[in-house]
Amino acid sequence: MSVETGIRFQNIVKAFGPKRVLNGVSFDVHKGEVFFIIGASGVGKSVLIKHLVGLLYPDEGEIWLDGEEISKFDEVRMGPVRKKCAMVFQHSTLFDSMTCAENVALPLRKHKGLTLKESVAEAKRRLHVVHMQEFGDRYPPELGDGMRKRVAIARALTLEPEYVLFDEPTTSLDPVSARRVDKLIRELSDTLGVTSIVVSHDLSSIFTIADRIVMLYKGHVRLLGTRDDFKHTPDGVVNQFINGRAQGPMDL
Amino acid sequence: MATTSPGQASHPADVDPVPEAHAPPGPVAALGGSAIDLFLGGKELLSVFIRTLYYSVRGKREKGAFTTQMYEIGNKSVFFLSITMGFIGMILVYQSGLQAKRVVPDYTMLGATYLELLVRDFAASIGALMLATRVGAGIAAEIGSMVVTEQVDALRMCAADPIDFLIVPRFKASVIMTTVLIVWAGTVAYLTGAATAYVAFDVAPQTFFNMALIDVGDVSVGLAKCLAYGAAIPVVSGYCGLSTFGGSEGVGWATTRAVVNTSLTIIILNFFISTAGFLIFPG
């Protein structure tokens, strides 16, 4: 079966002061797949995906999105990239002073120039997709973590992106809410053809919904493959991580 | 574009990717590094100021943001500023009276001289320094918290420029409310000064309330300072907030830097505006 590459990271290097977090990371993400980036805390998973939407810029390397090199785009040229690639942040990052509907409406107002009334009406329809239509007029602090996460996903989907970046979407959620978010991510890919890049260490999510997985370790790609490739790898570091063992060859 | 085959890995065994050991910099390198940091910081601050001016004219207005900030910056500072400026007014007149008593024991011009100093300098500069501690710290802490919780990144993803969305409403509100607050605080300081002069030196209010020394130059310089300080407080503290890094410790540092840098900016602006004032209005 032929696959089309949507995103390519090529020799990405990123340092913060003397600390080199990413040291030549390269891999491709295929269109329509659910792609997981895994690795220990602080290995640079979130840092890597932020490069794709211009929230960070690489020191070296190239990032290709649909055949276009975007790693040197300025804030203005990043606008269309951010419409195409939405991001769901780790802590939902909803604005507490706005209702859920107004939060979801913000990208419509800013990217598409809709009025507040038009955008809120559209936002309420978007909330329906994540089963949060009843909470449009509520403020984020009144909701639980799982509900806030779903509103954040609705906000990310508002502009009908082709790619959605999820930064630890199930962290701090109860198991039921976490599985609901997993289901939503899978549905996005299966029904709408959205490509999802998920940063996670939730083993349950990884081995339930991932099409392909990449593991980062010490600034490099340690292993790139399918769920089966990960389950059957002889690599001790990968084995220790995916089995969640305290003892092993991993150097943390 | 080619695709990557499953299982492809690019790891070179378990080599630590941070090989270089960094020796601590010598004194010259440290001084040079600080100078470069200062230059880059100044350049970024200027960029924030220019973008703030641009979005103040061309940006989209957020419903309610301006009035909310007017209330936060203005109304909520009235009590604090009235108390501090009231006490400062009493101290200034008492100390001036004691000094005057030693040189020329004549209090007829005490009120007029004090009013000139208030209008030309003290009301704006001391009032703005007080505001920098309350308003500047608040702006830096709020924006800094938004940075560390990725809310500023979320704004950028929504195509909302953080300067337009966060700093511009505070900038407009601060320019107006700083001016209003300083006029109010100056009045409070003048009245408490008059009361002190009456109680401590037996200067009648009719003698103290003397506007003979006030001219256009004093009012112009005082007003220019109000506007400049009102613009500087949100821009400098907003810049400190936006350049926050790290977690809660970073927010703490951003808040400290905001108060220090805003105070420093007010004192430097005071020097330049006062100098320009003396050159333009020499009388």
Report the chain A residue with the minimal C-alpha distance to residue B64.
Answer: A97
Alpha-helical runs (H) found in chain A: 45-52, 75-84, 100-112, 116-129, 145-157, 175-192, 203-209, 227-231, 236-243
Residue A166: name the closest of A176, A155, A42 by CA.
A155
Q: Establish if B168 belongs to a structural domain.
A: yes
Q: Establish if B40 belongs to a structural domain.
A: no
Which pLDDT tens digit goes with each residue over A47-69?
Answer: 999 999 999 999 999 999 999 99
Count of domains in chain B? 1
Total beta-carbon pairs less than 8 A apart between chain A and chain B: 101
Asked if B21 is an interface residue toward chain A (Cβ–Cβ < 8 A), one would say: no
Q: What percent of chain A has pLDDT over 90?
A: 50
Portion 62-81 of B in contact with A at CB < 8 A: 63
**Per-residue confidence (pLDDT) for residue B2, from 0 to 100:** 39
pTM: 0.82
Which pLDDT tens digit goes with each residue over B247-266?
Answer: 889 999 999 999 999 999 99
Q: Establish if B99 belongs to a structural domain.
A: yes
Report all structural domains of chain A as residue ranges with CATH numbers, in order of start.
5-243 (3.40.50.300)
**Per-residue confidence (pLDDT) for residue A175, from 0 to 100:** 86
Chain A partners within 8 Å of B157 (Cβ): 53, 55, 82, 86-87, 107
Is the confidence at residue B62, as pLDDT, over 80?
no
Asked if A159 is an interface residue toward chain B (Cβ–Cβ < 8 A), one would say: no
Which pLDDT tens digit goes with each residue over A154-175?
Answer: 898 888 899 999 999 888 778 8
Q: Establish if B213 belongs to a structural domain.
A: yes
Give which of A66, A96, A220 to mutate to test B binding, by max B Cβ within 10 Å.
A220
For chain A, the first-to-last Cα distance in angstroms comes to 38
Mean pLDDT of B215-232: 95
Is the confidence at residue B14, as pLDDT, over 80?
no
**Per-residue confidence (pLDDT) for residue A2, from 0 to 100:** 58
Q: Establish if B15 belongs to a structural domain.
A: no
Give which of B48, B60, B157, B165 to mutate to test A binding, by max A Cβ within 10 Å.
B157
Subunit contact A226:B6, Cβ cutoff 8 A? yes
Kindly report the number of other CB atoms within 10 A of residue A188's CB atom: 22
Asked if B20 is an interface residue toward chain A (Cβ–Cβ < 8 A), one would say: yes
Which of A169-178, A240-249, B126-135 is least confident?
A: A169-178
In the block, residue with structure tokens 């909310």: B68
Residue type at A234 in one-letter notation: P
Specify whether the backbone of B102 is left (phi greater than 0), alpha (psi in -120 to 50) or beta: alpha
Phi and psi at A106, nearest 5°, equal -55, -50
Q: Establish if B162 belongs to a structural domain.
A: yes
**Half-sphere exposure of residue A88, counting CA atoms within 13 Å on the CB side?**
31
Which of B7, B12, B158 comes nearest A224 by C-beta?
Answer: B7
Report residue B6's pLDDT band, with 50, 70 and 90 as the boundaries.
very low
Residue-range definition of the domain harbouring residue B71: 65-276
- DSSP string over A149-202: HHHHHHHHHTT--SEEEEESTTTT--HHHHHHHHHHHHHHHHHH--EEEEE---
Q: Establish if B4 belongs to a structural domain.
A: no
Report the chain B residue with the minimal C-alpha distance to residue A230.
Answer: B7
Subunit contact A86:B157, Cβ cutoff 8 A? yes
Which of A27, A95, A106 comes nearest B4 by C-beta?
Answer: A27
Tell me the pLDDT of chain A averaged across its residues: 89
Subunit contact A107:B158, Cβ cutoff 8 A? yes
